[in-house]
Amino acid sequence: MGVATQFIVGAIAAFGAFCLGAVIGWSGPVENEVKSGDAYDFTPDTTEWGLVGSLMTLGAAFSCIPVGILIGRIGRKVTMLLLLPPFVVGWLLILLAMHIAMLLLGRFVVGFCGGAFCVASPIYTTEIAELQYRGIMGCFFQLLIVHGILYAYVIGAFANAWWFNIACGILPVVYFLMFMWMPESPVYLAQKGKSERAEKSLKFLRGKDADVSAEMKTLATDNPTEQSSISSRLCRRVTLKGLFLSIALMVFQQFTGINAIVFYTTFIFESAGSSLEPRFSTIIVGIVMAIATVISIFLIEKLGRKVLLLISAFLMGISTLTMSLYFGFFLSSDIGWLALTAICVFIIGFSVGFGPVPWVMMAELFAEDVKALAGSIAGTTNWLAAFVVTLLFPVLNEQIGAAACFGIFCGFAVVAFVFVLFLIPETKGKTLNEIQAKLGEKKE
């Protein structure tokens, strides 16, 4: 039962990512309804709609560092639960918006609350996992994000904006009712010197009759009570190297174009002249993303993090090159299926590597006494990069065209491949101390 329990708890904890996925996937299905004035009593212009799509990423960027501090001070569980009431308020603002300002504020709030889980959820999930399941459970975050996006695509394809907003707004309520019964992270409890509660948490996760003495000893060794200042911990050479690698992975995750494709899927398919109705093309993309992420869960502990990242960068590079050539030379041809195929290849590539792996490695590259804040810095970088991409994509698309935009994404995929090949260490099957030792090695 111990394995099943920790998987169930990890999946429930990662449901915050499902809520975030619904926020990310919301823009595509409602775009036409909102821009035509059928959803609200106002009609946003191109710039305002760009803000509607991108403000959630800015909200997410603002949340990461405060949440990184909070999960270190009041705990992972309490922090995640406290995010849920304002999450509902954000959806109410979107549902009841009477002015563009209400819609923009709502998008910022749901982005703030949803984005906070990109720090809290992977850390919590990997901390409750046994070593052999850490990579698999670390993928739960991305797995739930893509299923949240698929949920938004499917509901948004068949419901009007009013009911769609309600369907998204109930998700944080469902999450609260499930997660309130889950234990606090034993790692956090050990850091705070609460060994009895840490042992109780481990027994909940491993089974009440399980012998957790070895894990308790490891927790005591790897998680000494916090004594040095956070600035001195952040400035350690091994921490700075981990930050560099984690931040780079987050930047590549966004600048290869994933959020531009997810946020503006409907627009891309309409521009490409796909023979499929855009809403169904969007659902296909969501299904492909979900299936590919499930596959990555089975591969991450077999092939390792680095191999998956290399495969991912290669596939994303090929697909964005294809999209660039399509929009540049073949748009007038009757081959709209090529756009759908290329985007599906991109989604597969992203979902098996650069989707889940940066979040897994974010929770693996840092010592426990600095993981929360260092992870939040990496998460902030991710969302700032996402904000730039989602804000600039529609603008650049008008100014330089889709062919050039996808060409830029292809260039970042090539750079990402080279970066991973030469600089990213393999963390599969390694303990925290082994990873820290590897990062601390000096080149001869």
Q: In this predicted structure, what is the pLDDT of residue 155?
A: 93
**Dihedral (CA of 131, 136, 138, 144) sign:** negative
The radius of gyration computed from the CA coordinates of the chain, to the nearest angstrom, equals: 21
Query: d(Cα 437, Cα 57) in Å, to the nearest integer?
Result: 34
Q: In this predicted structure, what is the pLDDT of residue 350?
A: 92
Q: Which two tokens stand for residue 88?
A: 């509902």
Name all contacts of 201-209 with Cβ < 8 Å and 24+ positions apart: 201/128, 204/5, 205/2, 205/5, 205/6, 205/9, 205/128, 206/2, 206/5, 206/6, 206/130, 207/1, 207/2, 207/5
Q: From 314, 354, 342, select the one nearest 403 (Cα to Cα).
A: 342
pTM of structure: 0.81
Q: From 203, 242, 154, 184, select the one nearest 423 (Cα to Cα).
A: 242
Q: In this predicted structure, what is the pLDDT of residue 224?
A: 55
Per-10-residue mean pLDDT for the chain, 444 residues long? 83 94 88 87 84 85 90 92 96 95 95 91 87 81 89 90 95 96 90 87 84 78 60 78 93 88 66 66 81 85 88 95 84 71 88 88 80 86 85 79 89 96 85 75 50
Query: d(Cα 292, Cα 353) in Å, to the nearest integer?
Result: 10
Domains and CATH numbers, the chain: 2-182+226-439 (1.20.1250.20)
